[in-house]
Structure 1
Amino acid sequence: MANSPARAANRNWNLPNLLTYGRVVAVPLVVAFLFWPADPWARWSALAIFAAAAITDFFDGYLARAWSQQSSLGRMLDPIADKLLVAAVLLALAADRTIAGPSLWAAIVILCREILVSGLREYLAELRVPVPVTAVAKWKTGVQMVALGFLIAGPAGDAVLPYATEIGVGLLWVAAILTFYTGWDYMRASYDHVGDA
């Protein structure tokens, strides 16, 4: 029993958790490059960091399960890191008007769903009701990350692939539709448990 705090500390510094910490550290770096004075290399740097962070989102959970290195800290921090990354990038892209006009509604839908589902998960966790991630939610995350990748590349991407920004905006709307559907699906699945606490 005396060694249990040490074992817990070691679990907190395993590779899956380090990947999650890296995703949190990536958030201010991506935003800093997005706010850098207009320069293609800054956009490509932001995209490279964002892509690396998005890839760790798959590997941290996969490795934690494969190596039996799951921890309470990792389970808590993983979804927070995801939401911080998505929310910060959406806000930065809205601030520099890469996302503008009606497309802002797609970003708002995504942000609102992330907050809603986070609160819902926390509420249901108190009731010990599992909220499994659905296949559609995984597709939503994939489309969302690809959309944000195109939008981060922005003007630099347009110089390489014409209409890259427009492709990103289109995919953002697809992600918003999937986001709305999965948010409603989670609400419907949890309806029977609302009021139980």
Structure 2
Amino acid sequence: MSRNPLLLVPNIITIIRILAVLPIAWMIMQGDLVLRLVALILYILAAASDWLDGYLARAWNQYSDLGRMLDPIADKLLVGILFAVLAWDGSLSGVDMVPVIAILFREFFVSGLREFLGKTSVVLPVTLLAKWKTTLQMVALVVILLEGIVPGLRLVSDVVLWAAGAVTLWTGWQYLAASWPHLSGANPK
């Protein structure tokens, strides 16, 4: 008998991570220091749940197509919406938008690339560097959120954000290079 993927613990955790994006964003947008601190704590829990759901899926053998689809969506929603909210509330400068735009561009591009290649049965597996990319993005967001609570972290948040942007672009380039034969027609089906 097959299990309902909605009832698998890793998928429940992923769905909670998706749902957590809205209250986190709302709390940040209120401009209240206490709510920002609560949002930071919830964000850290949501970001950590990315590791937890993967660990439990492996440990308990609870893999599913639903989980494989939802996990990267949850990561992209958590990162993308928070970048938008932090740009809106002034936590990000105009210069900060350079790595943010690079990050968002890569995330949309690689998602589209995977969808396109899915029709050709070509799989772009997630690389170890891509996992580190997600971690760096999430750490950058933690430091940016923390910067609004603890003054003096501007240089640290800028360095981590630019590092996340650079690693994100590099992984995007790796995926493009790996898929190029299928995109250019150089690799017959």
TM norm structure 2: 0.92
Distance in 2 between residues matched to 1:157 and 1:141, nearest whole Å: 24
1:169 partner amino acid: D
Instruction: Verify: 1:12 aligned to 2:2, yes or no.
Output: no
Whichever residue aligns with residue 119 of structure 1, its letter is G
> Residues 5-58 of structure 1, C-alpha deviation per residue, up to 9 Å, x if partnerless?
xx342x321110011011101110110111013x32111111111111111111
Tell me how far 1:65 sits from its aligned partner.
Answer: 1.9
Q: Give the partner amino acid of 2:149.
A: A
Q: How does 1:1-197 map to 2 (within 5 A)?
A: 7-9=2-4, 11-37=5-31, 39-158=32-151, 163-194=152-183, 195=185
Shift of 1:177: 0.6
Paired with 2:14 and 2:148, the residues of 1 have a C-alpha distance of 29
1:74 shift after superposition: 0.9
What is the distance in 2 between the residues matched to 1:61 and 1:122? 22
Structure 1: runs of 5+ lacking an equivalent:
none
Q: What's the CA shift for 1:80? A: 0.7
Shift of 1:154: 2.6
Residue 169 of structure 1 and its aligned partner are, at CA, apart by 2.0
Q: Percent identity?
A: 42
Aligned residues: CA RMSD: 1.5
> Contact 1:154–1:164 at 8 Å: present in 2 too?
yes
- Amino acid of the structure 1 residue aligned with 2:153: A
* Secondary structure at the counterpart of residue 123 of structure 2: coil
Structure 2 portions without partners, runs of 5+: none
Shift of 1:129: 1.6
Whole-angstrom distance in 1 between the partners of 2:148 and 2:175: 36
Q: 1:138 offset after TM fit, Å?
A: 1.9
- Aligned partners of 1:142 and 1:77: how far apart in 2? 17
**Structure 2 residue matching 1:168: 3-state secondary structure:** helix
Q: Secondary structure at the match of 1:157?
A: coil
Q: Which moved more, 1:82-91 or 1:147-156?
A: 147-156
Q: Distance in 2 between matches of 1:157 and 1:42?
A: 14
Alpha-carbon offset, residue 135 of structure 1: 2.1
Q: Is the 8 A contact 1:12 1:71 kept in 2?
A: no
Query: Could you tell me how far apart the structure 2 residues matched to 1:66 and 1:127 are?
Result: 31
